[in-house]
Amino acid sequence: MAVHFYLALPVEAEPEFKSKLNPRTLSAKICGIGNLEKDQLMSFIYIDESGQFKKSNDGEFFVVASFTVGDSKRTEKRFKSWLKEKFPKKMRSQPEIKFIANLDVIIRYSFLKRANIPEGYIRKEKIKSGELYTHIVGDVLEKYLPITDHEFRAFCDQRHVKGITKAKFKSILEAQIRPKLPKNTIIQIEMVDSTSSANIQIADWITGALAHYLEGKKNGKLYFDILKNNIIAEGNELFKDHRQNKKPNRSD
């Protein structure tokens, strides 16, 4: 999944970052575009998720992660170059290549334990996956707010949001973030095909890496260590105080 907007650190950004660089300098440095003025900065945020709610083999956690970068064409070029360097010709057409290191990006993410999904998102022992997924994406988007800019554009991986239409998905998220944006801010929330978007695939690598880390899988700590300097805030665990006694038959 993904968002695009003028980059500004939220007011709740961690003190250690504020003590080192002011938001404009930090934004320019991370985006790799020098000392441009803030109103010249344009940033893109891309969001993706790990697995499905219903699949037990997808692990204990469900993760939605995002990254923002100042020049989406630059990351796309790096993606294509990386493929050529790391993989033989017969593998270059693979649509989903996981885990890229040392990206010059800002990362924020939210996650939940599948066992902690509240009863409010379950109907007839089935998960209302569309509503739950929308809730998690909204939580991630709010991590970038409030901002004073006048464009907020989000681009998400194409996904079936069961139980709600894509139009409803967009309207729910827009209504959630609108109060924290300046009046007349342009909001765009779109779903795009990950197989044709290098940046969505990069978001997929990041999400997969964080899921590996949370699950304690092989190389999970290595992936996290590679990304940790790009992670602005600690991942937000949703519903962490919720416990379910009965596990439903999960459905996406």
Q: Could you tell me the CATH number of the domain that includes residue 94?
A: 3.30.420
Whether 252 is in a domain gets the answer no
Whether 118 is in a domain gets the answer yes
Whether 150 is in a domain gets the answer yes
* Structural element, H or E, at residue 139: helix 129-142
Domain count for the chain: 1
Which tokens hold the place of 34? 């020098």
**pLDDT of residue 98 exceeding 60:** no
Which residues are paired to 4 by β-bridges?
44, 153
Whether 75 is in a domain gets the answer yes
Give the per-residue pLDDT at 1: 40
Which tokens hold the place of 62? 């469900």
Per residue in 50-85, pLDDT (tens digit) is 988 875 667 899 999 999 877 778 888 887 777 777
Name the pLDDT band for 22 (thresholds 50, 70, 90).
Answer: very low
Whether 251 is in a domain gets the answer no
Whether 243 is in a domain gets the answer no
Per residue in 127-160, pLDDT (tens digit) is 999 999 999 999 999 998 888 878 888 899 998 8
Give the per-residue pLDDT at 24: 34
Whether 250 is in a domain gets the answer no
Give the per-residue pLDDT at 189: 93
* Closest to 34 measured CA to CA, from 24, 19, 44: 24
Whether 58 is in a domain gets the answer yes
DSSP state of 125: T
**pLDDT of residue 208 exceeding 80:** yes
Of 100-109, 177-186, 236-245, which one has max mean pLDDT? Answer: 177-186
Q: For residue 131, what are the domain limits?
A: 2-238
Which segments within the chain are labelled E, that is strand? Answer: 2-5, 43-49, 61-69, 106-113, 122-123, 126-127, 151-157, 186-192, 236-238
Which tokens hold the place of 101? 């290191």
pTM above 0.85?
A: no
Instruction: Tell me which of 186 and 81 has the higher pLDDT.
Output: 186
